């Protein structure tokens, strides 16, 4: 009986710690998504690139052409709609509607950004794995 009781105490402690970890991870996700959204709302695509997972960022750095394209638009709206949807234990997906204004023509258009975020347990950080929004889509 004593053995069962100690096992129950150990399991409840484990579940409590797991719950705390999940809450912390969720809070970190909220903070990261708000910071990323704010960075894009201000049109700071160079800073937004810092949210991209480091190995992906190193393998696919922003080109001068990419930077020039991002400088030709201003973000007029960033609508994250329903927010992130879990797609695994350490992954979430989020679909965002971004309205862009061409600084030369003042025409506005919308792009849909399908974001994938991954939580790195080692660094305790959420990283964007899908890259910056593709503003060349029609």
Is residue 107 a part of any domain in this protein?
Answer: yes
Burial environment of residue 132 by CB neighbours within 10 A (0 to 12, 13 to 18, 19 or more): buried
Is residue 87 a part of any domain in this protein?
Answer: yes
Structure tokens at 10: 């150990």
Is residue 72 a part of any domain in this protein?
Answer: yes
Is residue 60 a part of any domain in this protein?
Answer: yes
Is residue 75 a part of any domain in this protein?
Answer: yes
More confident: 8 or 83 = 83
45 phi, psi to nearest 5 deg: -70, -30
How many structural domains does the chain have?
Answer: 1
- 133's CB contacts (< 8 A; 6+ apart) are 40, 96, 98, 111, 113
Q: What is the CATH number of the domain that holds 45?
A: 3.10.450.100
Is residue 105 a part of any domain in this protein?
Answer: yes
Is residue 137 a part of any domain in this protein?
Answer: no
Q: What is the pLDDT of residues 42-51, one digit of tens each?
A: 999 999 999 9
| Domain range for 11 | 2-128
Q: What is the pLDDT of residues 51-62, one digit of tens each?
A: 999 999 999 999
Is residue 138 a part of any domain in this protein?
Answer: no
Q: What is the pLDDT of residues 74-105, one digit of tens each?
A: 999 999 988 899 999 999 999 999 999 999 99
| pTM of the complete model | 0.81
């Amino acid at each position: 009986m004593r053995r069962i009781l100690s096992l129950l105490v150990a399991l409840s402690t484990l579940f409590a710690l797991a719950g705390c970890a999940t809450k912390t991870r969720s809070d970190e996700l909220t903070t990261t998504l708000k910071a990323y959204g704010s960075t894009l709302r201000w049109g700071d695509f160079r800073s937004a690139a810092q949210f991209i997972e480091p190995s992906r960022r190193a393998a696919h750095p922003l080109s001068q052409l990419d930077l020039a394209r991002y400088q030709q638009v201003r973000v007029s709206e960033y609508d994250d709609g329903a927010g992130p949807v879990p797609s695994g234990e350490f992954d979430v997906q989020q679909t965002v509607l971004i309205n862009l204004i061409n600084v030369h023509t003042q025409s506005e258009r919308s792009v849909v950004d399908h974001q994938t975020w991954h939580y790195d347990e080692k660094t305790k950080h959420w990283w964007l794995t899908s890259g910056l929004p593709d503003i060349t889509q029609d």
